[in-house]
Amino acid sequence: MRSRSFVKFLGCAAALFAQQGIAFAELKSAETARVQSDVRAITRAVYTGDAKTVLRYTHTKVLDQMGGAETAERMLGEVFSIFKAAETELESQSFPSAPVFLKGRQHEFVIVPTLTKMKVAGQSVESLHYQFGARPAAGGRWLYIDGARIDASNVRKFFPDFPKDYEFPKKSLSK
């Protein structure tokens, strides 16, 4: 009698865990769509000279390091001028692999790999890169740091709770 009840209990527990697994997969899928949408918006903003959008997604730690939002906006204007002078235009952006979500004690992190194809002075260039996102562990908006600014050598200066064993994706630039 007892073993039948135990088997029934295991069956119910398995069904419950399966439902939670499906809910987790749906949540992860929604988060993947969210962060990829954010990265698309950042990329479009960079290539169209939309500093306000870039700043809206930029992590506050970067803004602080740059001397505040006003200084960052001015610096972005200079970068956009360089892009314009070099006749830089976005051809396409894709995601060569799924985002990687990580947890720290105080933050959640995401690494969003990107493959960006652009033209610079009429020449095609491909950039394999990533955006680094962080938000409080309790949730909230993702804010980003470009992969050119953050990697294994400095991530813990920004976020001491970032997992020590994570290996960042390789970055490359090719013609």
Q: At 5, which amino acid appears?
A: S
pLDDT of residue 74: 94
User: What dihedral do alpha carbons 6, 8, 12, 17 form, nearest 10°?
Assistant: 50
Distance CA 53, CA 42 (A): 7
The structure tokens listed for 165 are: 């064993």
CATH of the domain at 140: 3.10.450.100
Q: At 83, which amino acid appears?
A: F
Q: Specify the DSSP element, H or E, that contains 124.
A: strand 123-136
> Contact, 173 vs 160, CB < 8 A?
no
Distance CA 144, CA 59 (A): 5
Q: What is the pTM of this model?
A: 0.81
Q: What angle do CA 60, 132, 167 make, to 5 degrees?
A: 135
Q: Specify the DSSP element, H or E, that contains 130.
A: strand 123-136
pLDDT of residue 22: 37
Q: How many domains does the chain have?
A: 1
pLDDT by residue, tens only, the chain of 175 residues: 455 654 454 444 444 444 443 333 445 788 999 999 999 999 999 999 999 999 999 999 999 999 999 999 999 999 889 888 888 899 999 999 999 999 999 999 999 999 999 999 999 999 999 999 999 999 899 999 999 999 999 999 999 999 999 999 999 999 8
- Structural domain boundaries enclosing 105: 2-174
- Residue 164 DSSP one-character state: T
